[in-house]
Structure 1
Amino acid sequence: MRRTLATTAAATLLAAGCSSSSTPAPTGVDAPPATPLTLRLGFVTSLTQAPALIGIQDGFFAKNLGPSIALRPIPFRTDTAEETALAAGKLDAAYASPTTILNVIQAAHASHIKIVSGAASGGAELVVKPSITTPAQLKGGTLAVPAPGGTQDIALRYWLRLHHLATTITAGGSEVSITAGTPGTTTVSDFTTGHITGAWETAPYDVEMTSHGGRVLVNEASLWPSGQFATTNLVVTQSFLAHHSPAVLALLHGQIQANDYLHQNPITVQPAINSALTHLTGASLPPPVLAASLTQITYTNDPIATSLTTDVQHAATAGLPHPATNLTSLYDLTPLNLLLRAAGDPALMTRITRLTGSGAQVRTTQHLPPVLLICDQQAALILRQRTDPGQGGLCVRDPAMVASLGAMFATAWDAATPLSALPGARDAEATELTAGERALLRLLAAGLTDESAARQLGISARTVRRQMAALMIKLGAASRFQAGHKAAERGWLSDTGPDV
């Protein structure tokens, strides 16, 4: 009976939603096509951001995002340019260096972005003239770094301090001069012509310097526990994560696949990276330089959170600006951990597929509420132990208590993340609704016009039409009428969201 009533309401929804007391909204097949959500992904065209290069070129991101989310890759030549765009809100997500992340949370706010995944570790060295074999021999010399206050600048200044070699941020008083802000190709040229003593550089420029006779005085990996330190992380703006969590899950799935490709295809990955670099920059790397560079970099989904904290400490020790904030809140790794667990846990995927195939909806949350079973909104069962249902629980039949428990569940459900991008579950699970979308459907089903629904929700009629068009994309419907019936079939017109 419930499904019959819902189907009847669907017809009312679409008939009412298409009418208006003033300017009618388009109806049926003449409804305006919904504009796909656009994900603006920033990245720097460097080897330490190869997951972005491969994820874009080989279609890992686009495949997982699907037709309803348009990927807009935005390449940058330097970290500084990307940092400016990210701080200004011109990107939704970005592959970023540690100092780019730290500078953005200083310039914007600590809550502006979230680190949702790692991408790369390693790939930086101090290369010097072949005659230099000890730190003391650097006195009076000039060393280059890619950017002032950048990751390599921090690493170099801290290392020099450990070896009792003085440097200053301003001119004068330095035993070792540091020049910053030169492009990597210029640094290599300055090194070969003798204008600088050496440079703390990332691959491939450190490799090119050694190919011109340079000596590796320090491989930065040797300074870190297990040789691991974050070179690139994937960040997402807090706003995009809050409003478009399925898109973030899809992006993360593409990131995992791109890293898997980098690990599993050592023969084909080099021409693939060179192809991406040629397309984006107009230049490729000599195969021996590229091969040697890739041996220094570990592509990983682990953000190596401890290294970012250490970067802040090293910046403070070196006298460089650093954020005075708790970095723990900068991370949201729940979606990543879920995807990684699912990818390596066939039993979990089988269970999720079985549940969703039976009509269940599944979401993930960082903080689990008590184990609660609500049956037909008439009775509720609260289990004593989460891991052992055999321990029994408390059965509640009082209508007010059941309603309160249902409201608690609804709050937890709305705050949780849908699993529409979970590997293996994307096709099994229907795309879910946000609380706002569900409220819109209910109002239109009740017979309100677009304008009346807009007033109830506190939004414009134009926004109502745009949201309805987006719902049509989710449903794969060519008209509002068809969308209504499909919504009813999925149970989207129920009063409480998912059946409980």
Structure 2
Amino acid sequence: MSRTRLLTAALAVTLLAAGACSRADRGTDSASAPAQDKGPAAELRLGYFPNVTHAAALIGLEKGLFGKELGNTKLTPTKFNAGPEEVAALLGGSLDAGFIGSGPAINAYAKSNGAAVRLISGATSGGAQLVVRSDITKPEDLAGKTVVTPQLGNTQDVSLKKWLGDKGLTEKVQVTNLENAQTLDAFKKGDVQAAWLPEPWSSRLVLEAGATVLVDEKELWPGGKFPTTVLIVRTAYLKDHPQTVQALLRGLVASIDFAGASKTEAQAAVNKQLKELTGKELSGPVTERAWANIELTLDPAAGQFPQLAKDAVTAGVAKEAASVAGFADLSALNTVLKQLGKSEVDPSGLDKK
């Protein structure tokens, strides 16, 4: 082989090695991989809860608004009782997207080192309260009492423990976890004295079991707004099927618009779904009270997520505050909103690493 050919071969090897090093430096994180649009998905597996705080999801399912937008993509809805179960399904790959509380959403992002999921929209603000036995009138009265949340590490669990820490009551109160329906029964029997719950369960304890409100979580956040329910999606699914994600978001926009245009019909749709999912519909007074405590919104209040991550540490459910930089990807939502002539949603810097 001539010297010229040797030099050419050596240069080629060097360039290949440099390219390989460059790729290695970038890593294999799916979040940094190039987009690879594979067209509409064959199926969308969607998680949600049978709670009024998931009203937008329930309306979309009951009125067929998601299915209408998804077209030939099969919609497979899956009910969950609390966020940690849904996180396991998302990280395990058996779920593609899910309506979920802010706490578990952060946990899913942190557990995967920022790779597995993205926050793509808000759904509900408000709708969580600490309700107590009538003789408990101030925080100090909770000392020696049992307080319930839906599940260890869920959004209300973090909120309660953060609040107890701020009040110096962490070591004085017994916190336990029960499914919401079991909490209602236990409160009626006197086995528990307080519970931090999402709607409609806080309203049910007030109207059906004689509880009173000690803390409305709205009082703890600027402007009374906090992300009770958001919509997250697997990062790989978002990259592979952006058209399907946009279709899901169009369905969500339609659901929230439907609720705004007809409260009565929206409440009826939610109640019908709840009856199918739990075997029981809500009474008129419970529905009205729960509805008054929530706001259906596409805005996930992204700017509050760094504080929510810190709250998990104060609550003792995380050793250090999770980094939420880059968690939000509202580009699909804002594309849909722009197409519909609506105002875009601000990611508040949460879209940047």
Q: Same fold (TM over 0.5)?
A: yes
1:80 aligns with 2:98: no
Given that 1:102 and 1:322 are in contact with CA atoms closer than 8 Å, whether structure 2 keeps it comes out as no
Written as runs of structure 1 = structure 2, the 5 A alignment for 1:392-411 is none
The residue that corresponds to 1:341 in the other structure is 338
Q: 1:334 to 1:160 in 2, by over 3 A?
A: same
The residue that corresponds to 2:273 in the other structure is 276
Written as runs of structure 1 = structure 2, the 5 A alignment for 1:438-453 is none
Given that 2:109 and 2:324 are in contact with CA atoms closer than 8 Å, whether structure 1 keeps it comes out as no
Given that 1:118 and 1:301 are in contact with CA atoms closer than 8 Å, whether structure 2 keeps it comes out as yes
1:208 aligns with 2:204: yes
The residue that corresponds to 2:182 in the other structure is 186
Give the counterpart of 1:139 among 143, 147, 150.
143
Given that 1:122 and 1:228 are in contact with CA atoms closer than 8 Å, whether structure 2 keeps it comes out as yes
Query: TM-score, normalised on structure 1?
Result: 0.58
Given that 2:84 and 2:153 are in contact with CA atoms closer than 8 Å, whether structure 1 keeps it comes out as no
CA distance in structure 2 between the partners assigned to 1:322 and 1:61 by the alignment: 38
| One-letter identity of the residue aligned with 1:72 | T
| One-letter identity of the residue aligned with 1:46 | N
- State the secondary structure of the residue aligned to 1:301: coil
Q: 1:111 to 1:192 in 2, by over 3 A?
A: same
Per-residue Cα deviation, 1:255-284 (whole angstroms, up to 9, x for no partner): 111011112211111111111122233221
Give the counterpart of 2:45 among 26, 40, 52.
40
The residue that corresponds to 2:155 in the other structure is 151
- State the secondary structure of the residue aligned to 2:325: helix
Query: TM-score, normalised on structure 2?
Result: 0.81
CA distance in structure 2 between the partners assigned to 1:74 and 1:138 by the alignment: 36
Output the aligned Cα RMSD. 2.0
| One-letter identity of the residue aligned with 1:134 | K
The residue that corresponds to 1:197 in the other structure is 193
Q: 1:325 to 1:215 in 2, by over 3 A?
A: closer
1:70 aligns with 2:74: yes
Give the counterpart of 1:291 among 288, 291, 304.
288
The residue that corresponds to 1:11 in the other structure is none
Q: Which moved more, 1:211-220 or 1:79-88?
A: 79-88
The residue that corresponds to 2:32 in the other structure is none
Written as runs of structure 1 = structure 2, the 5 A alignment for 1:344-423 is 344=341
Given that 1:44 and 1:82 are in contact with CA atoms closer than 8 Å, whether structure 2 keeps it comes out as no
Count of residues in Structure 1 that have an aligned counterpart in Structure 2: 304
Per-residue Cα deviation, 1:215-247 (whole angstroms, up to 9, x for no partner): 101000011011110011111111111111111
Give the counterpart of 1:328 among 325, 335, 351.
325
Question: Unaligned regions of 5+ residues in structure 2, if any?
Answer: 1-39, 348-353
Question: Unaligned regions of 5+ residues in structure 1, if any?
Answer: 1-34, 168-173, 347-365, 367-500
CA distance in structure 2 between the partners assigned to 1:107 and 1:192 by the alignment: 37
Larger Rg: 1
The residue that corresponds to 1:111 in the other structure is 115
Offset at residue 46 of structure 1 (A) = 1.6
Given that 2:41 and 2:244 are in contact with CA atoms closer than 8 Å, whether structure 1 keeps it comes out as no
Per-residue Cα deviation, 1:79-120 (whole angstroms, up to 9, x for no partner): 332222111011111111112212222333411011110011
CA distance in structure 2 between the partners assigned to 1:273 and 1:143 by the alignment: 28
Given that 1:312 and 1:322 are in contact with CA atoms closer than 8 Å, whether structure 2 keeps it comes out as no
1:94 aligns with 2:90: no
Offset at residue 323 of structure 1 (A) = 6.3
The residue that corresponds to 1:54 in the other structure is 59
Given that 2:106 and 2:322 are in contact with CA atoms closer than 8 Å, whether structure 1 keeps it comes out as no
Given that 2:51 and 2:198 are in contact with CA atoms closer than 8 Å, whether structure 1 keeps it comes out as no
Offset at residue 341 of structure 1 (A) = 2.9
